[in-house]
Amino acid sequence: MFLLLINQYVTVHTINVFGDGSVAQFKLSKGTAGSPMSVYWSWGVGVMMGIYVAGGVSDAINNFDQGTRHVDGSLGTAGIFSTYPQPFLSVYNGLGDQVFGTAILLICVLAITDENNMKPTKGLIPISMTYGFNCGYAINPARDLAPRIFTAIAGWGDTPFNYKEYKWFWIPVLGPHLGAIIGAFIYQLCVGLHWPRTYEITQPQSKTVEQTVGSSNEGYDLGIELKLFKRVL
């Protein structure tokens, strides 16, 4: 269990190093270093490298906001670590965004890892380039909740949680859980349950072989195991 926890930590840390680093570079340079496209690609590559691994922020922030932490606005830096919605986004649309995005992610993951499917190269899934505008493509509580807790204790106060009157922080946590279940159900219902089933039947048989040596007969009991493969459509 401990090794599994370490594995998950390194994986999520790798994702955030790429993703948060690209956001920090773009935000703190005021757009002179990086672009939205570089952020999208960095998150995509970060997810890919995190998968492969499984199997920082310096004084630039102080120079940017003069030591006063902001969540949103022109000096907002909390979005480097966790996601925040567009001002126009409602609770229902935000929740729907997270459910839908995570459902698509799980469908892609299951399709890529399904041994009965086309078996493409495992790794990159371009969710961030297609569903990042409204909510910042959290689609993973481990990617969003832990950094939000970090910002709450690292100078941003309680705003990361009471943002929009407590109507946001729980959405990137609940939405991905619902979306993952829905996505997995859709894939299994539409694809996974329709693969031909393969059964392996083992039937032990015994056979006696007599060998004549001089004037004596010695019997040898040989256990012969036959494996029959039957494909049922």
* Helix (H) and strand (E) counts in the chain: 7, 2
CA dihedral (227, 228, 229, 233) in degrees, to 10, reads -160
% of the chain with per-residue pLDDT over 90: 18
Q: Taking the domains of the chain in order of start, what are their residue ranges?
A: 2-194, 197-232
Q: Which of 4-13, 120-129, 208-217, 221-230 has the highest mean pLDDT?
A: 4-13
- Distances from the Cα of 172 to the Cαs of 21, 148, 206, 215, in angstroms? 20, 11, 61, 84
Mean pLDDT, range 4-16, rounded to an integer:
73
Helix (H) or strand (E) holding 213: strand 197-213
What is the pLDDT, as a whole number, of residue 124? 53
Segment among 62-66, 111-115, 172-176, 220-224 with least mean pLDDT: 220-224
Which CATH architecture describes the domain 2-194? Up-down Bundle (1.20)
Q: What token pair was written down for 224?
A: 């012969």
**Average pLDDT of the chain?**
76
Q: Which of 47-51, 53-57, 187-191 has the highest mean pLDDT?
A: 187-191
Torsion sign, CA atoms 142, 144, 145, 146: positive
What is the pLDDT, as a whole number, of residue 136? 77
Mean pLDDT, range 208-231, rounded to an integer:
44
What is the pLDDT, as a whole number, of residue 155? 87
Q: What does the alpha-carbon distance between residue 111 and residue 84 come to, in Å, rounded to a whole number? A: 30
